[in-house]
Amino acid sequence: MRIALVTDAWSPQVNGVVRTLTAIKRELEAQGHELLVVSPDRFASLPCPSYPEIRLALAGRRTVGQLIRAFDADAIHIATEGPLGLAARRWCLAEGLRFTTAYHTQFPDYVAARTGVNAQWIWRYIRWFHGPADAILSSTPSVDAVLREHGLPQVRRWGRGVDLTLFSADGATDPAIDALAGPILLYVGRIAVEKNIAAFLAADVPGTKVVVGDGPAHAALAARYPDAHFMGPRFGPALAAAYRSADVLAFPSLTDTFGLVMIEALACGTPVAALPAPGPVDVLDSSVGAIDADLQTGIAAALTRDRAACVAYARRFTWANSARQFLGSLAPIGTAHAHAA
């Protein structure tokens, strides 16, 4: 199958959306499918206000449509709600072509956290954007329910996977983290306001707090919480080593729809403490983590979980299964579109 994947999130951005799409592309190409990625690196772009590492592509529907048409796509998937996603959506509707979309993040809550805009206003845009899609790919049952409650019933499950050859309990640990006083409490991800990292850094718990990642809130949080150790970004084997050195992964985000770092940590034998939010409530169970509205209580409980159980639990998440779900949700491009704009 020839699949056109339109996304405003792509390398060199570092986030869960990019990692998911990269893994799916690799998995599908290994199965013999051909993918066209329509991403910001193909076009002139502007930095996103307050998030300059995210580039907003300057491309209209005709430019995007010409790329897809020249590729002779069998199916079109629009991964994000940004400028490229908008351009592809407009072209598909103008041409009467079917397409699918995905809901990767709690976008209304994300925007509200960053701007103070009422999240319900953003939901109007979300309904408008995703409404014409044949299917909206959703990562967990809780996210399914949120979309249905907001008038978007055409949800299809698209779970996530973990690279078990990279993220495993066997391998090196991180010497810099090992030198710190335990227990080691780790956060991995973007350092941004919507990730709610302050809830972790403010928790009154014994041990050492370690932050792996980077982002626009880095300097402010490092100044506010000088006892925390900000290690910068880690990738590949270095990231796996950081997970192995930790006693607990803290996942304070309320806006993620899944949370890849949770299953990566579990695969390395590290239990997870999280707040009750879509993503954690579906991804974790009590054998490998603790979900509590008080992160301090959750961390204390997670410290008692068995590391071997975490490794075994993570094995249920594979990119091969994720790719099968993605492929099964795609809509053939040639059938006349069934939804209104």
35 contacts 323 by C-beta, under 8 angstroms: no
One-letter identity of residue 18: V
Numbers of helices and strands, H then E, in the chain? 15, 14
- What are the pLDDT digits (tens) for 237-253? 999 999 999 999 999 99
DSSP, collapsed to helix, strand or coil, labels residue 130 as helix
Distance in angstroms (rounded) separating the CA atoms of residues 245 and 236: 15
- Burial track 266-296 (b if 16+ CB lie within 10 A, e otherwise): bbbbbbbbbbebbbbebbbeeebbbbbeebe
- What are the pLDDT digits (tens) for 84-105? 999 999 999 999 999 999 998 7
- What are the pLDDT digits (tens) for 176-191? 999 999 999 999 999 9
Task: Give the residue-averaged pLDDT of 300-322.
Answer: 97
Beta strands in 262-327 (DSSP E): 272-274, 289-291
**Structure confidence at residue 225 (pLDDT):** 98
Task: Give the residue-averaged pLDDT of 23-51.
Answer: 86
> End-to-end CA distance of the chain, in Å?
27
Angle among Cα 70, 73, 74 to the nearest 5 degrees reads 155
189: left (phi over 0), alpha (psi -120 to 50) or beta: left
**Structure confidence at residue 340 (pLDDT):** 43
What is the DSSP code (8-state) at residue 308? H
Give the residue extent of every domain in the chain: 2-161+320-329, 175-317
Res. 339 pLDDT band, cuts 50 70 90 = very low
The share of the chain scoring above pLDDT 90, in percent, equals 76
**Structure confidence at residue 256 (pLDDT):** 84
Res. 338 pLDDT band, cuts 50 70 90 = very low
Q: How far is CA 278 from CA 112, 157, 240, 305, in A?
A: 17, 14, 25, 22
- What are the pLDDT digits (tens) for 56-82? 666 888 999 999 999 999 999 999 988
Phi, psi of 4 (to 5 degrees): -90, 120
Res. 337 pLDDT band, cuts 50 70 90 = very low
Q: Is the pLDDT of residue 130 over 50?
A: yes
pTM to 2 decimal places: 0.88
Q: Do domains 2-161+320-329 and 175-317 have the same CATH topology?
A: yes
Topology of domain 2-161+320-329, CATH? Rossmann fold (3.40.50)
- Domain spanning 175-317: CATH superfamily: Glycogen Phosphorylase B; (3.40.50.2000)
The DSSP bridge partners found for residue 124 are none
Q: How many residues does the chain have?
A: 341
